[in-house]
Amino acid sequence: MLNKKRGESYMKNMIRKQPFKVCNMLFFFATLISILIVSDLTYAELTPIKDYLLQIPIPKVKRVEGIAWDGKNLFVLDGEKEKIHRINPDSGELVQSLVLKKKKLKGLSFDEKERALWTADEGKKTLMLLDPSNGKTLKTIPMKIPVRFDSIEGIAWDGEYLWLAMYAGFSSSFNKINLKTGEIERSMFADCYPRGIATDGKELWSICYNMNKFPSKIDKRKMDKEDHKMLRSRTFIEDIDKDAEPTGLVFDGKHLWYADRMSKRIIRVTPTIIKPVKPPVKPPAPIR
């Protein structure tokens, strides 16, 4: 009889405690779901892939032809829609879109002295300085380029000169342009299919595009007055995903940014903590 009473007492205590346990379980699952929802919303804007890499979606951009950095925002040139988009790199927010109504624009770079954007009209072979607030043309410089090239694949401003990455098969090159005359003051072989160029005046980075045969790579050269020293300083610092179609490159003082046309994202890389990678086994075949 005593055991029976003890059993009934135990069951009553369990019944009294059960609602409290159920409430705890419901609270736990509600908290977990809310965390997952908030996390998903956050990662929809900025997606960290590694500790040194961040991705910003750019779904409204049809075809990236260049990216630039003004010290605060990223600028993305959409060659197909003929627009320049200003993007906040911290939030991924599209701050402003400028309609240019100009065709065959290639490359984008920010001139810190003029506080304006440089781009190239590949069809007319001119360099244009654009007002970043409204897209109006401030200056036009005819390019006096004696060499044959198929396309302009990048623009970088080093503080005094513009550097143009020009694709011409095995004769692809990096060219320093005098902004007063439009002439090439210096030209050196790219040793690859360049898909973007960036510089801080001390180092020069470029994207070595290998199509889908090998992973594309980011390489680095030390700026030097002597070509052979600059060529010998070349190192490969980052492998790019094999399925990516990288284009555009810019340095913000700490990070490198490039765009992937396939995933429609801007990708950030911190070059200071990247391990050097081996160069491609074979050079890419020229595109005709």
Q: Give the domain ranges of the chain.
A: 1-44, 46-273
- DSSP for the chain, written as a single string: -HHHHHHHHHHHHHHHHHHHHHHHHHHHHHHHHHHHHHHHHHHHH-EEEETTEEEEE-TT-SSEEEEEE-SS-EEEEETTTTEEEEE-TTT--EEEEEE---SSEEEEEEETTTTEEEEEETTTTEEEEE-TTT--EEEEEE-B--S--SEEEEEEE-SS-EEEEEEBTBT-EEEEE-TTT-BEEEEEE-SSEEEEEEE-SSEEEEEEE-TTTS--EEEEEE--SSHHHHHHT-EEEEE--TT--EEEEEE-SS-EEEEETTTTEEEEE-GGGPPP-PPPSSPPPPP-
The whole-angstrom distance between residue 40's C-alpha and the CA centroid of its chain comes to 23
Q: Write out residues in the chain with pLDDT < 50, as ranges.
A: 1-7, 10-12, 14-24, 26-45, 281-288
Cα-flanking dihedrals φ and ψ of residue 144, to 5°? -100, 85
Instruction: Check residue 242 and give its pLDDT.
Output: 85
Instruction: Check residue 235 and give its pLDDT.
Output: 92
Is 100:75 a contact under the CB 8 Å cutoff? no
Count CA within 13 A, CB hemisphere, residue 138. Answer: 14
Instruction: Check residue 102 and give its pLDDT.
Output: 87
Instruction: Check residue 283 and give its pLDDT.
Output: 45
pLDDT in tens, 210-250: 777 778 999 999 999 999 999 999 999 999 988 899 999 99
Residues 6+ apart with CB under 8 A from 37: none
Name 177's bridge partners.
162, 184
Instruction: Check residue 275 and give its pLDDT.
Output: 52
d(CA 80, CA 65): 9
Domain 46-273 listed as CATH 1.10.1740.10: no
d(CA 178, CA 180): 6
pTM of the model: 0.77
d(CA 152, CA 164): 7
pLDDT in tens, 68-99: 999 999 999 999 999 999 999 999 999 999 99
Token output for 32: 């977990």
Instruction: Check residue 5 and give its pLDDT.
Output: 47
Token output for 225: 């007055």
